[in-house]
Amino acid sequence: MKTIKIITLFMLMYASLSAQNEKFTKVMLTHLEKAKTAKEVAEFQDLANSFERIAMAEKSEWTAWYYASYYNFLAGVTETENDKKMQFIEKSRKMIDAGLKVKKEETELMVIKVLSYYIEMSIDQMKAMELMPLAKGLLEQAKAINPENPRIYLNQAQAVFNTPPAFGGGKEKALPIILLAKEKFDTFVPENQLVPIWGKENCDEILTGCQSEN
């Protein structure tokens, strides 16, 4: 009789967790659907705030922190005033750090953190000496953890492509990296509906730029 009660209890707990996971996934997908048409700073900010609220409620889910970070980052990229731009980037990084506390070796979070370094360097080039080693080190760490993540190589290729040849960059140096990124994108299979899938179009654009004669 005691065994039956224990089994029943576990079944009820499992059913409750499944319902909770389904609710979380449904809410996340609803906001991700809205994100498809977002273009303005205010829209990205609203999305970031929505995902942050979800993350605060579902503290064990890294994807909610990821999208809170991602849409703060996009708000920062879209914003034209540097002071406001940097506020969004700092908020994005704060969300990344919260996500890494949930899943410390999640390379998708690391990719956004590296991108935040690049944006900060574009705002204040004097920080390049400080931030570039952090960006490179984090990318190498991400490769070691998950060498199949295509956004790692896209990130690296984009940085090399935008670096002048005199400083070790340019399209010739970026070409083998972006080809590797394309290979990873072609074989990438998302593990569920909520993991990031962006980047393939960016990859194709950089590849075209690398292969152009101009």
Burial pattern 26-46, b for ≥16 Cβ within 10 A else e, equals ebbeebeeebeebeebebbbb
- The per-residue pLDDT for range 174-184, each reduced to its tens digit, is 999 999 999 99
The model scores a pTM over 0.95? no
> What's the token pair of residue 31?
């906001």
Of 42, 41, 45, 69, nearest to 55 by C-alpha is 69
pLDDT of residue 10: 42
Q: Mean per-residue pLDDT for 121-150?
A: 94
Rg (CA), the chain: 20
Topology given in CATH for the domain delimited by 1-127 = 1.25.40
Residue 118 CA to residue 130 CA, distance in Å, equals 11
Portion of the chain with pLDDT greater than 70, in percent: 90
Residue 162 CA to residue 25 CA, distance in Å, equals 37
pLDDT of residue 203: 96
pLDDT of residue 214: 63
Could you tell me the pLDDT band of residue 46, with boundaries at 50, 70 and 90? very high
Sequence-ordered alpha helix ranges (H) in the chain: 2-35, 41-57, 62-78, 82-102, 107-123, 128-145, 150-161, 171-187, 200-211
Q: For residue 202, which amino acid is it?
A: N
Portion of the chain with pLDDT greater than 90, in percent: 82
- The per-residue pLDDT for range 194-213, each reduced to its tens digit, is 999 999 999 999 999 999 86
Question: Is 96's pLDDT higher than 60?
Answer: yes
pLDDT of residue 150: 97
- The per-residue pLDDT for range 1-32, each reduced to its tens digit, is 445 544 443 443 333 334 457 889 999 999 99
Question: Is 101's pLDDT higher than 60?
Answer: yes
- The per-residue pLDDT for range 55-95, each reduced to its tens digit, is 999 988 999 999 999 999 999 999 999 999 999 999 999 99
Instruction: Write down the domain spans for the chain.
Output: 1-127, 148-214
Q: Mean per-residue pLDDT for 41-62?
A: 95
Q: Are 199 and 154 in contact (CB under 8 A)?
A: yes
Question: Is 149's pLDDT higher than 60?
Answer: yes
